[in-house]
Structure 1
Amino acid sequence: MVKIRLTRGGAKGRPFYHVVVTDQRNKRDGRSLERVGFFNPMAAGGEQRLQLDVARVQGWVAKGAQLSDKVRVLVKEASRQAA
């Protein structure tokens, strides 16, 4: 099954996550099919906290991809920002 989930990057104590489309059998930070955005929970000042290509996410969901719980929340947030 194809899942849309977060992969971790960044330094120790300063997490940074890419929102990726991947096969559920791949490791958390393993191979992905496509990057559709990023999430920076430590964003401060002028840094961007969330950037997400909502149209691509909806396209993958239409093809049967499942969202992780956190990505579902982030997609709702990004949709509200875009509107």
Structure 2
Amino acid sequence: MSLKIRLARAGAKKRPYYHIVVADSRSPRDGRFIEKVGSYNPMLPAEHEDRVRLVGERIAYWLSKGALATDRVARFLGNAGLTEKPAYRPQPIQSAPKKKAQERAAASAAAAA
């Protein structure tokens, strides 16, 4: 059984709240889980102490059993000092022009020069 430490959404519509859970990787996102090991409230400011709450000893136990954290949870664990921080990966900018549009813009700039 492959285990994941991941987020499970709770809360009302447009008011997200997440539980940090240990679950089988084949279980649905908000479905069955093994243990709740923390919570994440994105509605609170980034510096608020209750934004991310973790149960450190249980997370360490599940990591020792081979559980893998998802990207977002790995960032939480790295910030809390439970694991080493993952490499920084910038968020993709979806509004940026795609490859062909960039090529056309470069060709038109070269033609104008």
Give the TM-score band, short-chain normalised: 0.7 to 0.9
* Alpha-carbon separation, structure 1, partners of 2:19 and 2:78: 17
TM-score, normalized by length of structure 2?
A: 0.65
Q: How many residues in Structure 1 have an aligned counterpart in Structure 2?
A: 79
Greater relative contact order, per chain length (Cα 8 Å cut-off, separation 6+): 1
Of all paired residues, the percent bearing the same amino acid is: 47
Structure number with larger C-alpha Rg: 2
Deviation digits for residues 15-49 of structure 1, max 9, x if unmatched? Answer: 000000000000000010000000001015x7721
Gaps of 5+ in 1: none
Q: Tell me the TM-score normalized by structure 1.
A: 0.86
1:58 aligns with 2:51: no
Q: CA RMSD in A?
A: 1.7
The structural deviation recorded for 1:77 is 2.0
Partner AA of 1:72 in structure 2: A
